Amino acid sequence: MNIDGLISEMRGGDVHLSVIGGLLHVDAPSGAITPALKAKLKTHKAELIRALSVPKPPPCGWCGRNNFWRRTDLKNPPWVCSNCHPYYKSLKHEGNIEEITT
């Protein structure tokens, strides 16, 4: 399962996830966490903590969008806008990128 998809699914069900002190915190109304959802949280806990711990870049200064990517083959690469950056499609094809939506 795509972690961003799981986070979106949680938000759609009024389930809010956060990481505090390296621990995953779940805030949800009573009955919102079904057994299936609980199983997904347990299965993807480490990935959720990692995804929610990544600092989120602000919206792009040029186009205002919130879709970013960075190269995974470089050490500490900057986040760049997937709309404004000319090499996004070619690098995505190569598979050397990590994507984020803020």
| Helix (H/G/I), strand (E/B), else coil: 64 | coil
What domain count does the chain have? 2
Cβ 53 vs Cβ 19: under 8 Å:
yes
pTM of the model: 0.55
| CATH number of the domain residue 24 falls in | 1.10.10
pLDDT at 62: 75
17 occurs within a structural domain: yes
pLDDT digits (tens, 9 = 90+) for 46-93: 999 988 887 766 777 777 777 777 777 777 777 777 777 777 666 666
Residue numbers of the domain that contains 90: 67-101
Let me know whether 45 and 80 are in one domain. no
pLDDT digits (tens, 9 = 90+) for 18-49: 888 889 999 988 888 889 889 999 999 999 99
pLDDT at 4: 77
77 occurs within a structural domain: yes
58 occurs within a structural domain: no
Which of residues 15, 30, 53 is at a domain's end? 53
